Amino acid sequence: MNALLEASRLIFDPYVLWVIAASAAFGMFVGAMPGLTATMATALLVPVTFFMDPVPALGAIVTATAMAIFAGDIPAALLRIPGTPASAAYTDESYAMSKNGQLDLNLGVNLVFSVLGGFVGVAILIICAPALAEVAINFSSFEYFWLALLGLTCAVFMTSDVPLKGITSLLFGLAVNCIGIDPAAGYPRFTFGSVELLQGISFIPAMIGMFALSELLRGMVHADATGAVIAQRIGNIFSGVFGVFKRYWFNFLRGSAIGVLIGALPGAGADIAAWISFAISKRFSKEPEKFGTGHIEGIVDATSANNSALGGAWIPALVFGIPGDSITAIVIGVLYMKGMNPGPTVFLQNPQFIYAVFIIFVLANILMLPLGWIAIKGGKQLLRVPRNVLLPVILMFCLVGSYAMTNSVYGVIMMVVMGLIGWLMEEHGFPIAPAILGLVLGEMLEQNFMTSMIKADGAFVMFFERPIAATLGVVTLLIWGTMLWRGIKGRPATLSEVAPAP
């Protein structure tokens, strides 16, 4: 209870509230700009949060990402270009509604159900995270080894259309992770005598490169075919939303639940949550023939799902230090930087920070309603910001951010190299998320494997001796088995092959 009071005291401070308001505006802007993603918003915030206390730093990230995921819906409806990949699943549907003269209703539904979905996500986070942390305090290296392996398995299972490419990307991440000092024996690997390489590939500069720089490169290579902005006037967006809620409240609950679940699974985030909930909505709809003609039903599912996924992704990130999506992968880096090492102990040592994250999530979702309304009203002007000014500014943030992480040019070089690699990978259909997860979880996997082997005196059976470890191990092996079996049978082996390709 004291921790809760302490958390409110930390948040209701003019400086923190100012940070939250500013990052809300920033998030809205980044989300609404096609080509700039919520993950990029987080990566760009890192250098700024570097100079803040933990609470405003986390507040900035939580708020900006929540806003960005909603704001991505605006250009989807106006331009038929999703602002972030999380809106891609229902962009065509939204645009069709706009063409049918239902732009107001579409934007209203997107805003209101984004807010509601966000609330479901944070509610489940608040209920589940502390309870899970109680359990996780009894986890030893055996459990963590399986959790890390399960996370990496999910990354491939969830995110790649071609499983082989997903695995290749994952192995690349794990290989890069081997650079530096071996976490178990303390022996330098692949350092070629360089003092800088001894520190390994620190993942924040790598992530800024892979998510932000590669995106800039892509934007430069493929000149955007900017569609015509819909010429409708935006009127009262809230009229008719209540009717939609009364009719589709079950879709809202189902979409939000799927969102939290997918968000909490490592590797998959808001974008996949939206695809899957949209597909499920169509599959179980009473009128599936209306999908694709500007029908609101699937949008309710998907727009709730992508916002609830955000809260879901924080559950494994806070409790186990395993990111639920690419945003929380960066958040984990920020947490380490602030000395709040994620894991069950943070719930013991710094409960006030955990409560602060919860409160910020609630605040951000409340704030989304008025700010979202403003963003919708100003949407057309927003989309006119010249890209030749915007992109260099983003590049500058990337450079400053990666320098600040290592306090040397090493971070900048790493960012550029990883950015080029990330760009080449995406150009050839290799998903980036598994590589990032390999980079983030590689050390956890190796360290816990080595410690477990030392504890077990080399006996593999010990990995299945503790009940939770055994369960996690069996689940992981089952997923592998399923993927192999389906692959042999020639059926889609991964989940995103089942959902339409993003």
Partner 1 sequence: MSKISRRTFAASTAAIAASATFGFKPASADDAYPTRPIQLICPWGAGGGTDATARIVGVLLEKEFGQPVNVVNRTGGSGVVGHSAISTAAPDGYTLGIITVEIAMMHWAGLTQLTPKDFTPLALMNEDPPGIQVKADSSYKTVKDLADAIKASPPGKFKASGTGQGGIWHLALVGWLKAMGLPPNQVAWVPSNGAAPAMQDLAAGGIDFTTCSIPEARAMIDAGKARSLAIMAPKRAATFPDVPTLKEAMGVDYTTGAWRGFAGPKGLPQPIATKLTASLKKIFESKEYNEFMSSRGFGVVWNDASGYAAFMDKSDAQMGEAMKAAGIAKT
Q: Which member of 6, 21, 123, 199 binds partner 1 (CB under 8 A)?
A: 199
User: Which among 47-55, 161-169, 243-251, 427-435 is the span making contact with partner 1, rule CB under 8 A?
Assistant: 47-55
- Tell which residue, 393, 397, 433, 428, has the closest CA to residue 412: 397
CA dist., res. 228 & res. 359, Å (int): 40
160 burial type by CB count under 10 A (0-12 exposed, 13-18 middle, 19+ buried): buried
Binding to partner 1 (CB under 8 A) within 284-313 occurs at none
* Number of amino acids touching partner 1 (CB under 8 A): 46
Q: Which tokens sit at 116?
A: 């509601």
User: Which among 80-88, 139-147, 244-252, 287-295 is the span making contact with partner 1, rule CB under 8 A?
Assistant: 139-147
Distances (CA, A) of 280 to 107, 254, 257, 258, 376: 22, 9, 12, 10, 28
- Tell which residue, 311, 255, 294, has the closest CA to residue 278: 255
With binding defined as CB under 8 A, does residue 126 bind partner 1?
no
Binding to partner 1 (CB under 8 A) within 227-266 occurs at none
Q: Which member of 243, 455, 465, 498 binds partner 1 (CB under 8 A)?
A: 455
Give the residue with the Cβ less far from partner 1, 293 or 345. Answer: 345
| Three-state DSSP class for residue 72 | coil
With binding defined as CB under 8 A, does residue 8 bind partner 1?
no
With binding defined as CB under 8 A, does residue 6 bind partner 1?
no
DSSP secondary structure code for residue 385 in this structure: S
CA dist., res. 431 & res. 440, Å (int): 15
Give the residue with the Cβ less far from partner 1, 194 or 482. Answer: 194
Number of helical (H) and strand (E) elements in the chain, helices listed first: 24, 2
Q: Which member of 181, 391, 417, 477 binds partner 1 (CB under 8 A)?
A: 181
CA dist., res. 38 & res. 43, Å (int): 9
Give the residue with the Cβ less far from partner 1, 65 or 406. Answer: 406
Q: Which tokens sit at 23?
A: 């990052």
Q: Are 452 and 178 in contact (CB under 8 A)?
A: no
User: Which among 213-221, 258-266, 340-348, 473-481 is the span making contact with partner 1, rule CB under 8 A?
Assistant: 340-348
CB 10, min distance to partner 1, A: 11
Give the residue with the Cβ less far from partner 1, 331 or 432. Answer: 331
Binding site for partner 1 (CB under 8 A): 15, 51-53, 56, 137-143, 180-181, 183-186, 188, 195-196, 198-200, 202, 336-341, 343-345, 348-349, 406-408, 443, 447, 450-451, 454-455, 457
